[in-house]
Chains A and B, each alone.
Chain A
Amino acid sequence: MTGVVRWAFAGLLAVLAFGLASVVLQIPGTGSALRSQVMAQLPQSGVDHAVTAVLLNFRGYDTFLELVVLLLALFGAWGLSDSIDEAPLDTDIDVLTELVAFLVPVLIVVAAYLLWVGAYSPGGAFQGGAVLAGAGVLLSLCDPGWRSRRVERIGEVLLVPGVLVFLLVGLASMLLGGQFLEYPRDMAGSLILLVEGFAMLSIAVTLHTLFAGTPRFGGGA
């Protein structure tokens, strides 16, 4: 019986996929209309890469909210972490320690490079942040001291500047008479780098915290 239901379901999905495919084929090719607008406004955006211009300037508000999504994911996971027991780590492995000592500085440089290169080719805060978070994961695998209370408190504070700096830049642009997140044209490039720098830091700490877990956030209680 389950088999029959499963096949029926597969058949239904196949029909749906076929229907969607035939619809997609009927769409006239007007989707590139926006691309020409992006290219036309690119010189005004402060960066030379179309994707970065869309993500950090034209639709920077979406990216701002995406940073909030990350923070939200962390708050949500943190709400569940009280009931999770952590297994002790085996950190006394020479190969791991040697490798990490070699890799972490390289990863930090790679992350900074990815952030910088985002202005004119693929890269940016999310990519750099992911690499940096990887370095943090490696560190916490081989050094329990990395997860001390003091480091946790620093990490906790570093979760928020990504969103906060973005928000302050947005507010500053409103104070200067523009709309929220409307960068002054001649400062757009530096502001984007500023926003992305702090975003990278917070993304890295958020991803690392999601991996390592910090059940004692918020002090007290």
Chain B
Amino acid sequence: MSGVSLLVQPVWLILLPLVGSIMVFLLASRRAAVGVAVVAGNLALVAGSIGRLGITGPWQHSVGGWGAPLGIDLYLDGLSATMLAMTALVSLGISAYSAAYFSAAAARHFWPLWLLLLTAMNALFLSRDLFNLYVTLELVGIAAVALTAMRGQREALVAAMRYLLTTLLGSMSYLLGVALLYHSTGSVDMVLVGEAPIPASVAAAAFALMAVGLLLKTALFPFHFWLPGAHSSASAPVSAALSALVVKVGFYILLRLWIEVFPALGDGVAWLLGILGGVAVLWGSLQAILQQRAKMLVAYSTVAQLGYFFLALPLVAAGGSRVWGAIVLLVIAHALAKAAMFMAAGNLLAFAGHDRIRDLDRVVQRMPLTAAALGLAGVSIMGLPPSGGFSGKWLLLQASLEQGNWPIALVLLLGGVLAAVYVFKLLEHIFTSGTPLGEPRAVARTMEWAPLMLAIGAIVLGFLATTTLDFLIIGEPFVPGRRDDY
């Protein structure tokens, strides 16, 4: 193995943040600088992997040299690379923000946990082994809970405890499903399990268990009960990571299971999840409109936006790769926009000392970059052109009209209108004057630039939609079955 090919091994995506976490744990100072450097290095590694993927196609790595079913296979295709790229970009924004956000005392707790969360998410997106996915899910869950609890206030501790119990219940349910599949197929490799004959009742039970576990973690209505508390009470960069990235990993696994392991799922399941998604869009948006605090509004907006991923599931049977691609576009657009929104909301909180929407006072003059970040992220969340949110919703709207599926089209349009109401509710008070309640505090420059860059990313995604969709299908992630061309 030559030096170059050794360096572009995606295994580094797991090892670099892990070593970085241990380093910042042992360091006595300069934790933020090392942390940001590691996350920047991670982005460079992802870029290298993407380059390699474009040249050589999908990539497989049999850890330990055994190969499935005895060993564990890592796998990189267009879909996993896209998720890794999304995670790397958003993580870099969050890291730049965190470097200025945390005090020295908080930083020594934040950086080791944050880099382990990145390790866990990278490992998860690379895994193709159902049990290994469980291990990475646990890593993601525990890191996310620890980051939520880190703030130490009563509100955060209560929310973190609820989050911990929910995420553990989700993991257990998922694991029970894995056990059923292993017992009936003798393998935990996703592709091998998908190829093995599984009795219909066992497949149904395993899917139900795994899906419920993952939906708990993804907070699809009515499993969203833990999300607003946890996402709004964490510190701003942690909220951004939870809402933008952590909830997506459950959906990613569900997507892989849907395609690889349970390709024979009936329309009924798609419709059930689609209806829950539709209710999530409407219910989450209405709740967001009713909120009085900026962070709660943004958190309920996540409940609504997660709904779109599921709302589109009834369209995939006939729409195939195009609909999956549109869903993934929405996942990325939401990650960029929501991270920007939470960090911008964190700026409002740091600036004014509170985040009561009614009392926010002409932030636009004092923090024009933060206001711009909120505005641009809002454009993508509402689904206005040009933005990643628009491209994704437009493709879904097209597919639903082609298939004559007017209920989904209706929810798509209605959801956009409701999103406009809550986004403008936030923007309106930022642009208008209120009664200043205290002396505003200055916010560091990087804390303004980081959300703005991510929000711009959400807009730029709209122009790169075709490129992203083409890249996404490298290795045909949306077609079930074994692919031998790696």
Contact = CB atoms under 8 A, between A and B. Distances in A.
Contact of A75 (B19, B113, B199): B113
A180 to B, nearest CB: 5
B61, B109, B116 pick with most chain A CB within 10 angstroms: B109
Given A180-B9, A180-B63, 6 more contacts: A31-B184, A76-B143, A79-B146, A174-B1, A181-B64, A217-B25
B108 A68 contact: no
B150 interface: yes
A87 B43 CA distance: 45
Given A69-B142, A75-B146, A179 B132 contact: no
B135 A179 contact: no
24 contacts: A26-B202, A28-B199, A31-B182, A31-B184, A34-B187, A37-B69, A41-B70, A62-B132, A62-B135, A65-B123, A65-B132, A68-B18, A69-B139, A69-B142, A73-B142, A76-B143, A79-B146, A80-B150, A82-B105, A163-B22, A170-B15, A182-B65, A218-B25, A221-B105
B112 A34 contact: no
A95 to B, nearest CB: 38
Nearest to B9: A174
Interface stretch (A6-14, A53-61, A119-127, A140-148): A53-61
- What are the 6 A-B residue pairs with the smallest beta carbon separation, nearest first? A76-B146, A182-B65, A33-B186, A219-B28, A79-B109, A61-B63
B63 A179 contact: yes
A176 B70 CA distance: 22
Interface string A159-187: 11001100100110111011111110000
Contacts of B401: none
A88 interface: no
A interface, how many residues as a size bin?
35 or more
B26 interface: yes
Nearest to A180: B11
Contacts of B72: 59, 61-62
Interface stretch (A17-25, A96-104, A109-117): A17-25
B136 to A, nearest CB: 7
B149 interface: yes
Interface in B128-147: 131-132, 135-136, 138-139, 142-143, 145-146
Nearest to B144: A76
B109 A163 contact: no
Contacts of B29: 220-221
Nearest to A36: B186
A156 interface: yes
Interface string B47-85: 000000000000001111110011110000000000000
A80 B157 CA distance: 9
**Overall SS of chain B's interface:** helix
B183 interface: yes
Interface of B: 1, 6, 9, 11, 15, 18-19, 21-22, 25-29, 61-66, 69-72, 104-105, 107-109, 112-113, 116, 119-120, 123, 131-132, 135-136, 138-139, 142-143, 145-146, 149-150, 152, 176, 180, 182-187, 199, 201-202, 205
A32, A159, A181, A219 pick with most chain B CB within 10 angstroms: A181
A220 B180 contact: no
Contacts of A26: 199, 201-202
A76 B11 contact: no
Nearest to B72: A61
Contacts of A2: none
A33 B192 CA distance: 13
A154 interface: no
B350 to A, nearest CB: 21
B168 to A, nearest CB: 13
B199 A27 contact: yes
Nearest to A78: B109
B113 A34 contact: no
A23 B206 CA distance: 9
Interface in A28-84: 28, 30-34, 37-38, 41, 57-62, 65-66, 68-69, 71-73, 75-76, 78-80, 82-83
A71 B182 contact: no
Contacts of A38: 70
Contacts of B9: 174, 180
A34, A164, A180 pick with most chain B CB within 10 angstroms: A180
Contacts of B150: 79-80
A170 to B, nearest CB: 8
A151 interface: no
B135 A66 contact: yes
Contact of A61 (B119, B132, B180, B184): B132
A157 interface: yes
A76 B186 contact: no
Contacts of B108: 217-218, 221
Contacts of A156: 26
B6 A175 contact: yes
A180 B199 contact: no
Nearest to A60: B64
A174 B66 CA distance: 14
A27 B184 contact: yes
B98 to A, nearest CB: 14
B18 A167 contact: yes
A12 B241 CA distance: 36
B420 to A, nearest CB: 39
A59 B69 contact: no
